[in-house]
Amino acid sequence: MFLTLWQDWLYEVRYLSQDKPWPALDRWLKNWFRQQERLPLELQSELSAACYDIFRVLQKIDFLETSYQAKNIISEVDKWDLSWHCQEVENHSARDFVAWFGILFPEHNFATQLTCEARQTWYSSEFKPKWRGQADAESIQVILNGFRPTWLPLLVQRQLISNWDDGKLIDFIKSQEKTPPLWLRADPKLYNELKTSLYKQGVKVALDDNGLMAVGGKGVNQTQEYKQGLIEIQDYASQQIAAAVMVKPGQKVWDACAGAGGKSLAIASKMNNKGSLVATDLQSYKLDELKKRAKRAQLHNVRAFAWDGESALRLPNDVAKQKGFDWVLVDAPCSSAGTWRRNPDAKWRFNQSDTDELVKIQSGILENAAKAVRKGGYLVYATCSWQVAENEAQVADFIANNPGFELVEQKMLGAPDVDSDIMFVATLKLKQD
């Protein structure tokens, strides 16, 4: 069945999409499953997991298959990587490509049906014993771990800024090998009660020191607790960004890039419906979902409207009276490199020119949002990226251009310390003078 799925994917990108960017994997899978009649949910889950795993290592499989066909490990790996594009996997037959899935992921139920004995023998007796002796062994190691050698300077930069030893960097890279659990936001006092109730409704739930998470079974959004607003789906790292906005009831908050509102709702839940929270986004349709979620959670102090980020926000009257917001959160548009564990196909769309453009956009949004902070108030900047250019370097440039702000704290969130997405948050304070 997985071979059929991969054949259909290749047909899509070879003939239907052609030179267009690949479709997002999650949406493509959803459409593909819709076309399959009476496919059991358990099998859908297994096929999805397999597809996500193969996307984690697209370049690795292309590297192995190309080396296998040449009967020699690719030399000048860095040069090969510089010219490599994800669409090159379209050059391999579906059967040859998924044979590597069977070799690399033997834990999957149908892996043994896909394995090619000749490739297995070459991999075990030729490749594995010899690759460490290659001149480009370091670059090969990066490929085997699911990253591109081109990205190695970015990883080293992250290691230096975060003061990681080599072991921590390896943990970070290895964390990319699996999908994180589905984290749930709820009142911690209800964790045990919710765990029991969700389990009875068919949701497999785990609870640790970091919170509550769904790890399998039925969908959380079908449960009574979700429909009643007692739980929300929100990644652990995202929850920590919301926690960085230490709002008090009665204060004024602006979530400048609210999207569907996960952080807005988490922040508003701490306000006891006192004060106000303004949620804006460039795309107004995203705010429609926020409004629905706020209503379900019975949060009545949330206002939502579009803001393009290209000029200062016109302050609502109640905010203008106090000369700005107490808290402004900028969860900026970014490369989303911190979500590759959950969306591995996005990894292969990543490029430096996009990052450079995003850094400019982030800077502009940050500058305009900062104008809405009252004296003594706080500006919280966040991304779902691990790149230094989008995070610490962006914050340093902002402070250099806006000396009225001082850095309170900045840190990375999530993996590899916690099994979640990877995010960054910085808190800055506007001085009173």
Domain that holds residue 207: 182-232
The verdict on residue 39 lying in a domain is yes
Residues marked as catalytic: 384
Q: Check residue 296 and give its pLDDT.
A: 86
Q: Tell me, what CATH number does 257's domain have?
A: 3.40.50.150
Could you tell me the two tokens for 158?
A: 């992250």
CA torsion sign for 248, 250, 256, 257 is positive
Same domain, 226 and 329: no
Same domain, 203 and 284: no
| CA 100/CA 121 separation, integer angstroms | 12
Q: Note whether 8 and 128 are same-domain residues.
A: yes
Per-residue pLDDT of the chain (433 residues; tens, 9 = 90+): 889 999 999 888 887 766 778 889 999 999 999 998 888 888 898 899 999 999 999 999 999 999 999 999 998 999 999 999 988 888 899 999 999 998 999 888 777 777 889 999 999 999 999 999 988 899 999 999 999 999 999 999 999 999 999 999 999 998 998 899 999 999 999 999 999 999 999 999 999 999 999 998 778 988 999 988 899 899 999 999 999 999 999 999 999 999 888 899 999 999 999 999 999 998 888 888 899 888 888 889 999 999 999 999 999 999 999 999 999 999 999 999 999 999 999 999 998 899 999 999 999 999 999 999 999 999 999 999 999 999 999 999 999 999 999 999 999 999 999 999 999 999 999 998 7
| Partner residues linked to 255 by β-bridges | 279, 329
The reply to whether 173 falls in a domain is no
What gap in Å lies between CA 363 and CA 369, rounded to an integer? 10
Tally of structural domains, the chain = 3
CB atoms within 10 A of CB 65: 19
If asked whether residues 265 and 359 sit together in one domain, one would say: yes
CATH of the domain at 210: 3.30.70
Residue 411 corresponds to which tokens in the numbers above?
A: 């840190």
Q: Model-level pTM greater than 0.85?
A: yes
64 in a domain, yes or no? yes
3-state helix, strand, coil in the chain (%, to 5): 50, 15, 30
Predicted local confidence at residue 84, as pLDDT: 94
Q: Does some domain include residue 214?
A: yes
Residue 15 lies in a domain: yes
Per the annotation, binding residues are 281, 308, 331
Tell whether 170 is covered by a domain: no
Alpha carbon 197 to chain centroid, angstroms: 29
CB 255 within 8 A of CB 231: no
pLDDT of the residue at 18: 66
Both 279 and 335 in one domain: the answer is yes
pLDDT at 27: 93
Q: At what angle do helices 166-174 and 152-161 cross, to 10 degrees?
A: 120
Same domain, 259 and 208: no
Which pLDDT value is given to residue 130? 92
- In the annotated binding site for S-adenosyl-L-methionine, the residues are 281, 308, 331
Residue 205 is assigned to a structural domain of this protein: yes
Do 200 and 135 lie in one domain? The reply is no
223 and 289 share one domain: no
Last residue of a domain, one of 88, 121, 144: 144
Are residue 285 and residue 349 in the same domain, yes or no?
yes
Asked if 122 and 218 sit in the same domain, the reply is no
232, 266, 300 - which closes a domain: 232
Radius of gyration for the alpha carbons in the chain, expressed in angstroms and rounded: 24
Residues 139 and 248 grouped into a single domain = no
Q: What is the DSSP letter of 122?
A: H
Q: What pLDDT score does 41 carry? A: 83
Of 398, 390, 406, 396, which is closest to residue 369 (Cα–Cα)? 398
Q: Are residues 20 and 109 in the same domain?
A: yes
| Structural domain ending residue among the three candidates 144, 174, 191 | 144
Confirm whether 150 is domain-assigned.
no
